[in-house]
Amino acid sequence: MRDRQAARQRAKELVGRMTLEEKASQLRYDAPAIPRLGVPAYNWWNEGLHGVARAGVATMFPQAIGTAAAFDTELLEKIGDVIAVEGRAKYNAYREEEDRDIYKGLTFWSPNVNIFRDPRWGRGHETYGEDPYLTGELGKAFVEGLQGDGEYLKAAACAKHFAVHSGPEAVRHKFNAKASKKDLRETYLPAFEKLVKEAGVEAVMGAYNRTNGEPCCGSKTLMEDILRGEWEFEGHYVSDCWAIRDFHTQHMITDTAEESAALALKTGCDVNCGITYLHLMKAYQDGMVTEEEITTAAERLFTTRFLLGLFDETEYDRIGYDRLECPEHLALADRAAAESVVLLKNDGILPLKKEGLKTVGVVGPNANSRAALVGNYHGTSSRYITVLEGIQDVLGDDVRVYYSEGCHLFKEKVENLALRQDRISEAVAVAKNSDVVILCVGLDETLEGEEGDTGNSYASGDKMDLLLPQAQRELLEAVVKTGKPVVLVNMTGSAMDLRDAQEHCAAVVQAWYPGARGGRVVADILFGALSPSGKLPVTFYHDTEELPDFEDYSMKNRTYRYFTGEVLYPFGYGLTYGSMELDGVKLNGQEAAKGGEAVWAGEELRLEAVVSNKSDRTLQEVVQVYIRALDSGDATPNSRLCGFARVTVEPGCSVTVQVPVDRDAFTVINDEGEKVSGGSRFAVNVGFGQPDARTAELTGKETFGFVAVR
C-alpha cells in the first residue's frame, strides 16, 4: 500500500520552503504554479461521477442512480478503475501540452453518497439511492476502483456532500437541515463513515447547507469532532463551490469574507472551491488565522499530490491515449447499462419477438434524445445511440420502424408557430400503423439536476411533484387510446408517478439515463437479447401526498425503511424474463427452515443461498437479505437491507451464492445516536426483493423468512 507518512514528510519539507503568501495561494482550487520550487499549477476541480466529465471524450457510463440499480459492487469497482485509467490518459496527454486547466487533474469530486431521501430532489440521480447500506457498499467499491491499490493513488476520490444534504436546491445556500442524533447516525452519516474508514477516500467535500445550525464547510461537529476526530480522516477537505461565500451572504453567520475564510480554515477546510480564500492573507493580518493553520492545510494538499505521484515517475505515466473509449471500456459501459435497467411491469409482451412483427412504433420526446442518455456531470462521447437508433439497429430492414417525437419534453408544442400539442396526431398515426408501440417518456438534466445547471427555473432543478410533464401525460393517454399494446420506457433519474402506465401499458421499463450508447442496450433488452436484472435503489411512490414536507429532514415516513403507506414499486424490486427460485438458505453452514428459527453463536453471520434458474435462458438476479431486530424499540419500522449479491445462473442450473452481510446488521441506533446491540432475535428475509406485501403482490413470490436467534 502507499506510504502516507512518507508523502506527508515530503509535503512538510516542500511547504516549509514556501512563503506564507505561496502557502495561502495553494489553498485555492486553481492553485498557481510556484516556479522557483518547481511546483506546477494544479486545478483540484475534476468530475468523474459516471465517466471522466467535462474535458472532452471519455467512456460514459449510466448515471450513478442507474449503476446503483445494478446492486453490483464488482461493477462499481471496475467503473471506478476505468475512470482512473482514462483520467490518467487525459492527464498524461494534457500535461505534455502544459495544459493544467479545470477538469484536467486527478482529483475527482466523486462519488456523491448523499441519501436520496425525497424523490423531488433534482440531484438524486447523482447518488446511489435511498439506502445507507447500499450507498456505502457501492460508494466504497467505486472509491477503491478509482484510487487503486498501487504504490501511488491512481486517482483521488472525494466523498460528497458532507453531510445531511439532499435538497431543496432552491434554498441550499441558506438552508438549515435539522437532523436528530438518531437520523444522523442511522441514515445520513454511515456511507461517509464507510468511505473514510474502509475505503480510505482521499477527500471529503462539504455541503452548501447548514446542519443543525453549523455550515457544513465550517462545522466543528462534522469536520472536527466526527470526521477528523472520531473517524480519524487523514485526507483533505474541500468546500463545495462558492459555499464559503454563503457564510456571510446567505447563512449570515459571519459578517465578512475574511471571517468566512477564517472559520472554514480553522475548522479544517483545506481547498476553497470559490474565491473566498483570496481573503486569507487579510484574515491573517487581522489575527483571524495563524500561519500554522495555513501551513497545515497546505501540507495536507501536497500530501495528496505526492500520493498521486505528481512529482515523481509513476507506474501510471505509461497509460496512453488509446485507453480512452477503448473496446474494453465500452463493453463495461454496455454491461453497466444492461444491469441497470429495471423491468417494472410485464404482462407477457416482453421480450418482443421480431418474428411476426411487421411494424414497430417508437414514440416520445426521449426516444431519440441524446440528453436523455447522459444525465448530468457527463463527458463527451464519440458516438451516441438513442433508444430509437438502438431499435432500428436491432430490427434492421426486417421490420418497419415508425417514429414520432409525440410532444416536447415539457412545453406544450414542438414548433413555436404551431397549435398546442402539434405532434400528438403524428404519434397517434404512428401507433395506429404499428403492431406495438414503444413509448419513451421521462426527463433529462434540464428538468432534474443541480440548481443553476438546469432549465427548470421554477424548481431550481427539483421536481414539484412526481408527475410526468403535462404534454407527456397527454401523449400517453392518446397513444393508449389507440388500443395498440404499449411498452413504456421511462428515462428519468428519480422515482415518478407511473400509475397510469402501470394500469394501461402492457409493460413498464425504467431505463434511467443509460449512458451515451445505452439506447442499444435498452433495445437489446426489449427484444430479448438480454434479460433485465436491475433492482430499484429508490422507492416509487404513488405521489407526494403521504410524504413529509420536502424541507423536513426527519426520516419518519421516508424511504422503504420508514414509510408506512402502500407504494407503487418498492425499493429492491425488479422483474426478469424467466423464473428464478430460491431453493434453500444456510446460516453459518446450517440449513435454515423457512418460517422457523435458526440459532447461531458469535457476532458473525455467514449466509448462503441456493438460486435455481427454471427457465430456458441465462438469467441474472440479485439476492437480497433484509433484517429487523425484534427485541429493540430502536429498530427501524421496516426491515432494512443488510446484504446483497448478484448472481448469474445458466438455464436449468442451480448456483450457491455467498451473500456478505453487514457487520452492523445486529446493531441499532438509539435516540442518542449510539450504536447498540439489537438484542438476540432478528427477523431475516432472503429473496429477490424486500419482504413487503407489495413486492410479493408484484412478483408472486414470498421471501425466505426465518428468525435468527443468538
Task: State the catalytic residues.
Answer: 240, 448
Q: Which of 689, 688, 686 is nearest to 705 (CA)?
A: 686
Are the C-beta atoms of residues 399 and 391 closer than 8 Å to each other?
A: no
Tally of CB atoms within 10 A around 71: 30
Helix (H/G/I), strand (E/B), else coil: 363: strand
C-alpha cell at 215: 455550515
Three-state DSSP string of 397-442? CCCEEEEECCCCCCCCCCCCCCCCCCCHHHHHHHHHCCCEEEEEEE
Cα first-last separation, the chain: 38
Q: Which helix (H) or strand (E) holds 610?
A: strand 607-613
Three-state DSSP string of 633-685? CCCCCCCEEEEEEEEEECCCCEEEEEECECCCCCEEECCCCCEEECCCEEEEE
Integer Cα distance of 168 and 626 in angstroms: 30
C-alpha cell at 448: 432534474
Alpha carbon distances (Å) from 383 to 62, 66, 526:
15, 20, 21
Return all residues near 380 (Cβ < 8 A) that are at least 6 apart: 56, 57, 58, 60
Q: Treating both helix axes as pointing N-terminal to C-terminal, what angle do 4-15 and 291-307 enclose, rounded to 10 degrees?
A: 130
Are the C-beta atoms of residues 261 and 283 closer than 8 Å to each other?
A: yes
C-alpha cell at 156: 483521488
Q: In what order do the strands lie in the sheet with 176-177?
A: 176-177, 210-211, 214-215
Q: What is the dihedral of CA 547, 548, 553, 554, to 10 degrees?
A: -90
Integer Cα distance of 277 and 269 in angstroms: 10
Integer Cα distance of 430 and 403 in angstroms: 7
Q: Which helix (H) or strand (E) holds 132?
A: helix 132-147
C-alpha cell at 511: 431505463
Return all residues near 516 (Cβ < 8 A) that are at least 6 apart: 60, 333, 370, 373, 374, 381, 383, 384, 385
C-alpha cell at 188: 445520513
Tally of CB atoms within 10 A around 705: 18
Q: Treating both helix axes as pointing N-terminal to C-terminal, what angle do 327-340 and 73-96 enclose, rounded to 10 degrees?
A: 140
Integer Cα distance of 512 and 16 in angstroms: 50
Three-state DSSP string of 34-57? EHHHCECCEECCECCCCCCCCCCE
CA 5 to chain centre: 32
